[in-house]
Chain A
């Protein structure tokens, strides 16, 4: 092979490769660069507004067919009580599906603690839901690919394909996942994917009387949620795990676990 032939061969080869790559992107939309996607779902939780009524949990359980009395949930509300002595008490009685109906803090094992009001420095509620991480560890560890990330950023579970090994449950630093009590496969919050794709809001967002929960599209600069995330001081939960959560919080405190 002389130099001319070699150059011809190399040129043709690169053209063929470029064509193949282009075809790949046309036929596989998932392979498109993320910046071309029109939607990236994000969530905003304003903890200052949450009153701990638990309507969000109730709505979620009914909407997503999680048996109401089962002690697992796609979303829940936590209560934090910080005393003047600097002690932190936290609980989420029955995921707060019935709201916080008593002042007593649930310590587990059927024990409760009464904290006199004058001894409290601050107390607040924090709603929790799946963070739909940019780098989801649950997706990474699924041995059969039954859980996956959609192009618009939501992590879904295929109930027909999950084998129930529980590795994803172990891998989530937020404790979001559980086994569905009826289907016996991994289950988690998906921002009510069936609703948001029809232009509706997630059940918890619709049910919240205080507008503490909001959903938005991060790719849309005029989206009210996107504006808040961009212009205000927001926080994410457990950033140290490198999962890049996409649920943003207003008023997240150091005590929040």
Chain B
């Protein structure tokens, strides 16, 4: 009889017998995904709440994307449970002294906020779509489904008069206002889950929630920009195929919008990156300076075992390089694309270094554990807790986004620009 965790844990020197890497890749994915949710929402709120007009198109885009990510965010936790069929016990007997107990409630509240905001934002579109399809005779099956969906989603509110729309607009603004603190709470709270574990010398710091929020915004903004560029490139490709000179929008129009939005958003990205990196470095410097009992082993992990993961992958490739690339004037789409991939990689590595790094040394402070990510699955468990499971979780929001964008169109060039 073997222990499941032996499949990916290698022990070195003196480690307690029950110690393994219990929180593996799915728990890396969990804060990464919730971070993307929070970041995408904050980006959309920059327009709705603070009226940063230049971000209008990006705002619609990132709100829909945030919703797609939101649905996926609890999935890694579900994948990780050894008894996933009991997941709803969290709602039945929530034990409120636990940081995880409120997760279900927080994500539910947040989900309702994003869903309501989406509804108010797209109500006019839904009503128009529904009415148009209603008047149409001989509907095809796809149109029938579309009509059914749109009609249900209007919730029977067909009033799209000027006063009603104005009210919608105000509701969006209020919801975006409530949403920002809730988004920050959602993710700061993911940081709290780690930061409050007093048994773990690397995790335990009151800075953890703040570090998580900042890096969340960085990753969310970066992912929205990245997906935005990719979809814009696809639209350009489609526009170039049309050939017709009257086609709207033309390739040049799309390119113009794309570059413009990129330049504005990348400024916000840099701003949040500075915050995020400063906090992480503060944490590192403080640990080294105070050098409490655990520092000996932490130093071995940070400057030794995990040096490449932390200083090369996270700080250099994930932070420094994209930071410089984004700062150099005359930002091109290719350069932005490259930097954004690096930024996302950097935030992922930060999550990795927190979750896996925090378990790479023993509670004895005299031994180490090495994590070997299962790449080729042996069974369902090693698939879930392996590369396959992580990629599945990573792909889900994009598929969902594609489905959602059929109902909530994210590009509305004529009106918006």
Contacts and interface: CB of A to CB of B under 8 A. Distances in A.
Given A71-B3, A163-B83, A257-B365, 9 more contacts: A76-B17, A108-B15, A137-B198, A141-B100, A143-B100, A143-B103, A161-B89, A164-B81, A177-B18
Contacts of B11: 108-109
A145 B93 contact: yes
A108 B367 contact: yes
A142 B98 contact: yes
B13 A107 contact: yes
Interface stretch (A26-34, A86-94, A213-221): A86-94
Question: Ordered nearest first, which 6 A-B pairs have the shortest CB separation?
Answer: A164-B82, A175-B16, A257-B364, A145-B95, A67-B1, A143-B100
A9 to B, nearest CB: 34
Q: Interface residue tally of chain B, by bracket?
A: 35 or more
A42 interface: no
A241 interface: yes
A69 interface: yes
A241 B199 contact: yes
A67 B1 CA distance: 7
20 contacts: A71-B2, A71-B3, A71-B17, A72-B17, A72-B18, A92-B16, A94-B17, A108-B11, A144-B94, A145-B93, A163-B84, A163-B87, A164-B82, A166-B22, A172-B199, A178-B3, A181-B4, A182-B1, A184-B83, A241-B199
A233 B385 CA distance: 47
Contacts of A166: 22-23, 80, 82
Contacts, number: 150
Interface string B284-327: 00000000010000000000000000000000000000000000
Interface string A157-190: 0000111111101111111111101101100000
A65 B98 CA distance: 29
Interface of B: 1-6, 10-20, 22-23, 77, 80-84, 86-87, 89-90, 92-95, 97-101, 103, 193, 197-200, 293, 362-367
Given A70-B2, A179-B82, A184-B83, A161 B367 contact: no
Contact of A169 (B22, B80, B81): B22
Chain B facing A: main interface SS: loop
B101 A144 contact: yes
A46 interface: no
Contacts of B16: 76, 92, 128, 174-175
Contact of A137 (B90, B101, B103, B199): B199
Interface in A227-251: 240-242
Given A107-B12, A137-B199, A167 B100 contact: yes
